[in-house]
Chain A
Amino acid sequence: MSDKLTVTMPSDLDVKMVRVFDAPRALVFEAHSKCEHIKHWWGRGNPLDCELDFRPGGTWRFVEHAPDGEAYAFHGEFREIQAPERIVQTFEFEGMPGHVCVETLELTEEGGKTTVTSVTRFDTKEERDGMVATGMSDGAGESYDALDQYLAKLS
């Protein structure tokens, strides 16, 4: 198993990220659930202000202080928490307000290693209003692969 992050866009506009950590699941979950831990990694090495109310319906807000003096603020709300295997939360970058993502984290453990699978869905207004049929028919899968490859070429 690789410890590198793999990224795919499996359907619609989901972004799926998979990362294996050499640590038991309870510890990886714990590292997601308390500011004292989150401060050590979420800021990517930068100082981080952390507010966290880790319960369903609770909110979180992180402010990352970049070396250039800029502060980047993010916030969201916990929609679902099932220790130690699943967290569903919203994610919004305050620099681009209105772009709300829904992140679903699934943690599985095998042989002392923990796989974190995160699926992020861009939450469009249509989706919130239930106007868009989500999911995808098999027939559209191939054409989506083509678009995916096209996007890959662009980036």
Chain B
Amino acid sequence: MDRLSEVFSALADPTRRAILARLAEGEATVNQLAEPFPISLQAVSKHLKVLERAGLITRGKEAQWRPCRLDAGPLREVADWVAAYERFWEQRYEHLGEYLQKLQKHGTPQEERDE
């Protein structure tokens, strides 16, 4: 799987998004991250592995502590992709709006013969 797909997959889970939102406020340990969720530490660790593989978080090296940090880079890629998609559609719909006006002025599509 390429990077963008991996990031989208990682983001497709509400628990992982909640973890990222928490990390947007600052680094945290696995225990701190697990606190708000009714799931096991082991399950949280699994989610962290997915996020780490997607490059969305990095983890400290200290064996006991290993705080997690958000890495905004891949999120920016997603945001860029979505922004480009939106911009294209904004322009398309702008042209569709104008085209529909033209169609209505000059008659129904069936009568349109300027092709």
Q: Which residues of A contact B (CB under 8 A)?
A: 3, 5, 7, 9, 12-13, 15, 17, 19, 21-23, 27-28, 30-31, 34, 36-37, 40-45, 96, 98-99, 116, 118, 120, 122, 124-127, 132-134, 136-137, 140, 143-144, 146-147, 150-151, 154-155
Contacts and interface: CB of A to CB of B under 8 A. Distances in A.
Interface stretch (B41-49, B59-67, B96-104): B96-104
B20 interface: yes
B80 to A, nearest CB: 7
Q: Which 6 A-B pairs have the closest CB atoms?
A: A140-B14, A143-B18, A41-B95, A146-B21, A155-B79, A44-B91
B99 A40 contact: yes
Give the dominant DSSP class at B's interface.
Answer: helix
B12 A13 contact: yes
B35 interface: no
Given A12-B12, A140-B14, A155-B83, A45 B95 contact: yes
Interface size, B (range): 35 or more
Nearest to B38: A139
A129 to B, nearest CB: 11
Contact of B99 (A31, A34, A118, A132): A31
A127 B5 CA distance: 11
B111 interface: no
Contacts of A23: 100-101, 103-104
A5 B5 CA distance: 26
* Candidate in B13, B14, B75, B80 with the most chain A CB atoms within 10 angstroms: B14
B95 A40 contact: yes
11 contacts: A5-B90, A15-B82, A27-B103, A31-B96, A37-B103, A44-B91, A144-B17, A147-B17, A147-B20, A151-B75, A154-B79
* Candidate in A96, A98, A136, A147 with the most chain B CB atoms within 10 angstroms: A147
B107 to A, nearest CB: 11
A137 B37 CA distance: 12
Given A98-B5, A143-B18, A9 B82 contact: yes
B18 A96 contact: no
B18 A122 contact: no
A37 B99 contact: yes
Nearest to B25: A146
Contacts of B17: 140, 143-144, 147
